[in-house]
Structure 1
Amino acid sequence: MTGPDAKAAGAFRTIGEVAAATGLPQHVLRYWETRFPQLRPLTRAGNRRYYRPDDVALVERIDRLLNHDGYTVKGVQKLLASEGKRAATPSVPSLRAVRTMLQQALDYDSAV
């Protein structure tokens, strides 16, 4: 935190704070919420939006892809959707594999 009004890194940001930090107008952020289902800030009473740090990072990434890397909205949608599918099916070791790894660690620890 640099000043008396600065927030912690993990603090939620309002749409105005995100707009000021990224240089994007608020209406663009609202539009992106309709086009990118991955971008879902928390909404509270009065439809106030609160962006988590992950949401802010996603806004910055979408901005870079659209405004600097030359992607179209549809292109970014496809890119994010394909990444979401890969993230939805993570490579998780089976219970047997975890048990084997733990047993090997215990065996090694008792041998040392």
Structure 2
Amino acid sequence: MADFEDGKDEGALRTIGEVSDGLGIKPHVLRYWEQQFSLLNPLKRSGGRRYYRPDDVALVERIDQLVNQEGYTLKGAEAVLRSSGAPGSDRRQADRREGDRRATADPDGAPGQARAAPVRDLGDAIARLKSIRSRLARAIEA
């Protein structure tokens, strides 16, 4: 949980510096995550100053957990967040509809094809890899 010692109310807006200090995540990482995660969209005022809402802070914490503790890639973490109803996602539902087309692309980028379900165990991963290998071998032979 965030450790904010700034005397602000729990529901207050926070600057990128305050979020960075409270969560121990460098500001440049937060800005990068904003580019990579469409769900992470803090308020921006004139001059580009960012203000993180409590939902944004909770989302940053979840991203940090997925990426730095559970080992997800950024794309994998975004898929988990979208499927689990990340904090603040209801507020951004209309904004996401247009971006959902990108999320349904297969790994090769073909639009409109659903991605495979996440791997839950090693046996499943091995079976998938063998299937991919045989499809590649057939494609090379053709």
> With structure 1 as the length reference, what TM-score do the two structures score?
0.69
Deviation at 1:50, TM superposition (A): 0.1
Higher relative contact order (CA 8 A, sep 6+): 1
Matches within 5 A, 1:1-112: 5-84=6-85
Alignment deviations for residues 74-111 of structure 1 (CA, whole Å, 9 cap, x no partner): 11111122235xx66xxxxxxxxxxxxxxxxxxxxxxx
Structure 1 vs Structure 2 CA RMSD? 1.9
Q: Look up the SS of the partner of 1:19 in the other structure.
A: helix
- Cα distance in 1, alignment partners of residues 35 and 61 from structure 2: 16
Give the secondary-structure state (helix, strand or coil) at the position aligned to 2:30: helix
Which of the pair has more CA radius of gyration?
1
CA shift, 1:70, in A, is 1.0
Q: Which runs of 5+ in 2 are unaligned?
A: 94-142
Q: TM-score, normalised by structure 2?
A: 0.55
Name the SS for the 1:50 alignment partner.
strand
Q: Using the alignment, how far apart are the partners of 2:10 and 2:53 within structure 1?
A: 10
